[in-house]
Chains A and B, each alone.
Chain A
Amino acid sequence: MSTEEHALELIERVRSKPPRFEDAQITMAHGAGGKASRALVEGLLAPALGVQELDDAASVGDLALTTDSFVVQPIRFPGGSIGELAVNGTVNDLAVSGARPLALTLSLVLEEGLGSNELRAEVEAIAAAAAVAGVSVVAGDTKVVERGSCDAMYITTTGLGRFDPRANLSPRSLEPGDRILVSGSLGDHGTAVMLARGEFELAAPVESDTQSLWPAVDALLDAAGSSLRAMRDATRGGVATVLNELARTSSVAIVVREAQVPVRPAVVGACEILGIDPMYVANEGKLVAFVAPEAAAGALAALQRVPGCEAAAEIGEVKTDPPGMVLVETAFGGRRVMDMLVGDPLPRIC
């Protein structure tokens, strides 16, 4: 073994240890969905609360339960708003767990001085998104804080769903040979919010992709059934973070073929200028699915027939070695590692 390989093996040994939460204070990086977030959740929250499994939704009998908070700034952006996001984000955590969304609770934290029209617009957006996703809002709470104590409004939704009998999903179930599908073009939401902030003097016709993923999940379950191994919605940290989490949990290698990753030209352009990789940019209506090889073609075809998922694509494959690592075959013909996100290029994106 070369000294380089020895050094790399040592690094992998360090990386495979459970993350520890050692920071003196919370920084924005803890909210970015990357390595610092992982240290916070797996190093502090999960052990303190005795949570064993970290998934998008928890199971309580045949029911699925999940919760999510939304602090996006600005609250309205091309293609959506915080209210729509608050419904779809929670619905999608249920959907990718293989659960049909049933009901939501809604908790609002409002800033003193928020315009009633702005609030009304968001409540209407919540109602409309819930109707589209087929869920009812069944309970809620409102709080108001002094001006400056929150930024316009924060929303927390808790979602209840019922696990679908067709689904047999587990993040530990990835097998070498499994194909990796994404349900459409990547990076739209993060790019749209970033441009909407107007900090970069860039303009591009990019809209958030916020949408309910249940129709996509329904189509995948119909087409692939138990050959569907696992799904994730690629929100904060993007597809790269999802792939790293699953590679680690299933102890497999993942290879992504960069040339096959669907990204809109406007998103490619904006990310190119800002030096951001679209694979790390948040989506709010895109899932990553891992499918057994024999079912992959059918699953992809079914996905592409779902409205909003026309650009779905197969982007890579599960391998055996090196376990826990995600590698990219670059369009240029080289190879690189794709790691979890470090730092925080785009805060408060959802």
Chain B
Amino acid sequence: MKFVDEFRDAELGRVLAAEIVATVEPGRHYKLMEVCGGHTHTIYKYGVDDLLPENVELVHGPGCPVCVIPMGRVDDGIAVARHERVIFTCFGDMMRVPGGDGTLLEAKAAGADVRMVYSPLDALRLAKENPDREVVFFAVGFETTAPSTALTLRRAKAEGVRNFFVYCNHVTIVPPLRALLESPDLRLDGFIGPGHVSTVVGARPFEFIPSDYGKPVVISGFEPLDLLQSIYMLLRQLAEGRCRVENQYTRVVPYDGNPQALAVLSEVFELRPHFEWRGLGFISHSALKLSPTYEQFDAELRYAVPGVRVADPKACQCGEVLKGVIKPWECKVFGTACTPERPIGTCMVSSEGACAAYYNFGRFAREREVV
């Protein structure tokens, strides 16, 4: 298929893999973090790590929008969904994320009107088709998805739609990365930068990583060849003693980002003073809420919600997984008490979650033979 197959060419993959082998120092161990859950998914789905030498280790990062939602926010969402007049809309993965009091899927089976949508515009359409109902969109995601929520709100405002609300859980990418880099228990050699986020924010916001923390960054696309090339570019920087932000995903990512998307974000949203991240705790200025000009659409103002912080289950080590401190299989409950069909932690829910990706695709030691 055009625009897909050329980025999955096995022959080119082998060429790049050979270049990578030629670039690494045999005695050195390389630890590279892919920030984005989309990258984690690609790595496991295509077996990209099977093509890497053993001393190149990929560490999964915090960039999975579903994974970082804390349990209390899910409970608040379910509380909104239970209102009689509400049609509660969300992306498919969010329906299976456990709160302190079950999942949205269970709330749906118990009578709440919860519907899966592929876009916030679908939620707005539902609102217009159901004028006697109130449609709430459970917005999650980094700067990648925030512009589509913002555009939907701009349209709702322009069209005077009064029965559409957004339960905003959008987060921003730089603060958790900074928190991660400040954490003493993680030693990384470089970062595979988040490609989709960068289509909006550009590559420039990541310059603090080389300048303040001395780690190279390569912004990467999401096809298997993109990832191999980005890994190669990182290893070249390390081999040549360079340290800067490079952009592998030039076919989509402008270095300064997308000015129109950034403009609509600053029109519709403002930074929250602080926001709780699953497993990472509260991080200042790390999430978005609706700005005063859009507060008529703010579901948190429209509905009374418990707003209670719910502690993560004791056994759950999502925080360590999100920080890359442990591998999914090192978690005490991984694959036994916590599985995709009965998840305890968020990382086991989304296809971009490191635990789900590993469980579904990678549950087979790299060195093991099939006979």
Contact = CB atoms under 8 A, between A and B. Distances in A.
Interface of A: 2-5, 7-8, 10-11, 14, 24-29, 34-36, 39, 199-200, 253, 255, 265, 268-269, 272, 274-275, 319-322, 325, 327, 330-339, 342-343, 345
B224 interface: yes
Contact of B370 (A272, A322, A334, A343): A322
B341 A272 contact: no
B335 A336 contact: no
Contacts of B370: 253, 255, 319, 321-322, 327
A275 B361 CA distance: 15
B363 interface: yes
A36 B109 CA distance: 14
Contact of A8 (B44, B45, B364): B364
A343 B4 contact: no
A319 B370 CA distance: 7
B104 to A, nearest CB: 10
Contacts of B335: 7-8, 10-11, 14
Contact of B363 (A11, A39, A255, A275): A11
Given A11-B359, A253-B370, 6 more contacts: A27-B108, A28-B105, A28-B109, A330-B46, A334-B48, A343-B96
Nearest to B17: A333
A164 to B, nearest CB: 34
Contacts of A345: 92
A325 B369 CA distance: 13
Interface in B164-213: none
A35 B92 CA distance: 17
A91 to B, nearest CB: 32
Contact of A319 (B44, B359, B368, B371): B371
B46 A332 contact: yes
6 contacts: A7-B335, A39-B341, A255-B370, A322-B370, A330-B46, A336-B44
A200 B121 CA distance: 11
B237 interface: no
Lowest 3 A-B CB distances belong to which pairs? A334-B47, A11-B335, A334-B50
Nearest to B44: A336
Given A11-B363, A272-B4, A334 B329 contact: no
A26 B108 CA distance: 10
A322 B368 contact: yes
B50 A335 contact: yes
B304 interface: no
A14 B44 contact: no
Nearest to B41: A275
Contacts of A269: 1
B291 interface: no
Nearest to A259: B10
B1 A8 contact: no
A240 to B, nearest CB: 11
Contacts of A8: 329, 335, 363-365
A10 B363 CA distance: 11
B49 A334 contact: yes
A26 B109 CA distance: 7
Contacts of A253: 370-371
Contacts of A338: 361
A337 B336 contact: no
B11 to A, nearest CB: 9
Nearest to A347: B116
A2 B54 CA distance: 14
A4 B108 contact: no
Contacts of B329: 3-4, 7-8
Contact of B48 (A7, A10, A29, A332): A332
B155 interface: no
A333 B14 contact: yes
A36 B340 CA distance: 11
Best-buried of A2, A268, A330, A333 by chain B (most CB within 10 Å):
A333
Interface in B290-333: 327, 329-330
B330 A333 contact: no
A342 B335 CA distance: 14
